[in-house]
Amino acid sequence: MRINHNLSALNAWRQITLTDSDMKKVLERLSSGLKINRASDDAAGLAISEKMRGQIKGLDMAIKNSQDAISLIQTAEGALNEVHSILQRMRELAVQAASDTNTDVDRSSLQAEIDQLREEVDRIARTTEFNTKKLLNGNLEGFRATPDAKIVAQGNIDLDITAVSSAASVNEGTIIVEIGQFTGNTTGALDARVVLVQSNGVSTVVTSYSQASVVIGGVKVKWRNDRFNINEFGALPHESVIDTGVARVEKINTSGNQLVFQIGANEGANMIAGIDSMMAKDLGLITSVLKVTTQNAAERAISVIDAAIHKVSTVRSQLGAVQNRLEHTIANLGVAAENLTAAESRIRDADMAKEMMEFTKRQILLQSGMSMLAQSNAIPQNVLQLLRG
């Protein structure tokens, strides 16, 4: 028998230490409700669940963004509802003034009310805002309900096209890519040049390339010996339209004045929208034509107001369509967040019933280990019996 090293006691002590360590982990899980409290608990599970948590929080914020977007749209649509009421009243007055049962004095009174109503349309357009953002004064670019960045009529254009549209026939800010043999080209190579249309339809050649590519305004333009492509490049949304032999790239959001709603948890998961100007002049309600002082002028005013009503109706229908889409988006985001939360819970959350079972097991092992340690410490005392003999 040996007394310098009590191996039985050492073994019992080691088992107690392990049991105590496991007991602390079980108590930590029971008190926190989490199966993973530190990376050492499950390194891979921690990495996966943290990524899921990022997605869940992103989806929750996307739901809030979508709800805020609906509030913005409802603010604009509510203002346009009143504009509609004003236009209907103006039309009513114009119809009244178109009858010769009215005297010139009567028509002057009707004209005075129409002028005031026109001013009110302007005031509504100038002052309607959401979170200090003006909605109806034309600061937001014309409405486009296209999600993300898309290209219309994407594809190849044969290089033998040489026709070029007049720069004056396209809008300011348009990029025209001209394809074909240009004057002074003695190499026989197929050239292309990029033209930016400035104010008043004046065109300026930005650059000229031969069998190469160029990035301008967020759009990558490429061409080869036999084919020409307009490819999506970067984050700026745009359209490409083939028009009389010219690839015309209509830039969208070049000045950052569109509404971009972040409706997803990741980059690029957004929705692009905008609202046309609802100022009186942009609705066609020009002072010079909105006259009801004569019978003929009143009849013309009716058609002008009808056109304004149609434009407001169009914008309201577009806003309504976007609102409906956002409501579906919110429902979809909610389902995605719920499913991701369930997946994250399976990785991260502790099964309390299982942990209580484990706790009871460790508690019994700890008590029995302490008992065996006490017994092991008593074994060396048997040597005293030998010494007495």
Is residue 294 within 8 A of residue 108, CB to CB? The reply is no
For residue 172, give the amino acid letter: E
The amino acid that residue 40 corresponds to is S
Query: Do 192 and 287 share a domain, yes or no?
Result: no
- One-letter amino acid at 74 equals Q
Answer yes or no: do 373 and 296 share one domain: no
Rg for the chain, CA atoms, rounded: 38
- The per-residue pLDDT for 142 is 54
Report CA-CA distances (Å) from 187 to 184, 190, 195, 226: 9, 9, 22, 16
The per-residue pLDDT for 141 is 64
Q: Which two tokens stand for residue 142?
A: 């014309």
pLDDT at 312: 93
* Strand order across the beta sheet in which 219-223 lies: 156-158, 227-232, 219-223, 213-216
Assigned domain for 263 exists: no
Kindly state whether residues 27 and 45 are assigned to the same domain: no
Tokens of 134: 């003006």
Residue 262 within any structural domain of the chain = no
* Residue 12 near residue 376 (C-beta atoms within 8 A): yes
Residue 383, pLDDT score? 76
Number of structural domains (the chain) is: 3
Specify the pLDDT at position 258. 75
Question: Within a domain: residue 86?
Answer: yes
Residue 267, domain member (yes or no)? no
pLDDT (0 to 100) of residue 196: 42
Q: Are residues 44 and 134 in the same domain?
A: yes
Give the pLDDT score at 389. 59
Q: How many CB atoms lie within 10 A of CB 240?
A: 24
pLDDT reported for residue 380: 78
Same domain assignment for residues 117 and 156: no
Q: Are 247 and 165 members of one domain? A: yes
103 and 134 housed in the same domain: yes
Q: What is the pLDDT of residue 202?
A: 44
Average pLDDT, the chain: 74
Flag residues of the chain having pLDDT under 50.
144-256
Domain-located, residue 259: no
Burial of 25 (0-12, 13-18, 19+ CB in 10 A): middle
Tell me how crowded residue 266 is: count the other CB atoms within 10 A of its CB: 12
Could you tell me which of 40, 34, 7 has the C-alpha nearest to residue 21?
40
Q: What is the pLDDT of residue 4?
A: 75
**Does residue 222 lie in a domain region?**
yes
Report how far residue 106's alpha carbon sits from residue 232's, in angstroms, rounded to the nearest whole number: 60
Residue 118 lies in a domain: yes
Same domain, 213 and 155: yes
pLDDT of residue 60: 95
Separation of alpha carbons 142 and 274, rounded Å: 5
Q: What is the reported pLDDT for 207?
A: 43
Q: What is the CATH number of the domain that holds 80?
A: 1.20.1330.10
Where does 198-245 show beta strands of DSSP type E? Answer: 203-210, 213-216, 219-223, 227-232, 238-243
On whether both 169 and 110 belong to a single domain, the answer is no
One domain, residues 66 and 76: yes
State the Cα torsion 125-129-134-137 to the nearest 10°: -10
Domain extent for 48: 34-138+282-349
pLDDT at 259: 83
Structural domain includes residue 59: yes
Whether residue 62 is found in the same domain as residue 134: yes
Whether 58 and 158 share a structural domain? no
